[in-house]
Amino acid sequence: MRGEPLRILLVEDNEDHAEAVKRSFRKHKLKNHIVHLTDGESALDFLLGRGEHEWSKTRLRPHLVILDLRLPRVDGLEVLRVIKETDELRRMPVIILTSSKAETDIARAYDYRANSYVVKPLDFEKFVGLMKDLGFYWLAWNVNPYPET
């Protein structure tokens, strides 16, 4: 990615979890710009450029979406489904970051083409380590599906 900041859309209704994600990335000095939204409807509006999130075609897309499943207004699985069924968004990597270990949630997330399904560790230090690994993977190794021209 040529060293530019990783653009992340974080969709998480739990403020403590969202702050832990942001703090983990800061602690490990991962260059990023995080847009934090707390419900699925706002996430879809942001990604589709609707309502208060209306934006021009020149706006750069997030490099990835970190998405919780249990969200107000529109469930995370529905957000994932819409992303992966929308032509201009379907290549956008989506990481499900949730506390749910339910087999049905895991199966549905992958049926809807999630790029990864990660269960939030209860231990804070393990959570910080997980965020470090995710950040380095997506920043250093993964190739952006929307190259800037």
CATH code (residue 115): 3.40.50.2300
The H-or-E segment that residue 137 falls in is none
Work out how many domains the chain is built from and give that number.
1
> What pLDDT shows up at residue 135?
74
Is 13 within the bounds of a domain? Answer: yes
The model's pTM is: 0.88
Is 146 within the bounds of a domain? Answer: no
End-to-end CA gap in the chain: 12
Is 1 within the bounds of a domain? Answer: no
Is 56 within the bounds of a domain? Answer: yes
95 and 119 Cβ atoms separated by less than 8 Å: no
Is 148 within the bounds of a domain? Answer: no
Q: Which domain holds residue 61?
A: 6-140
Report mean pLDDT in 10-residue bins for the chain, 149 residues. 74 92 78 89 92 65 92 97 95 94 97 95 85 76 65
65 and 95 Cβ atoms separated by less than 8 Å: yes
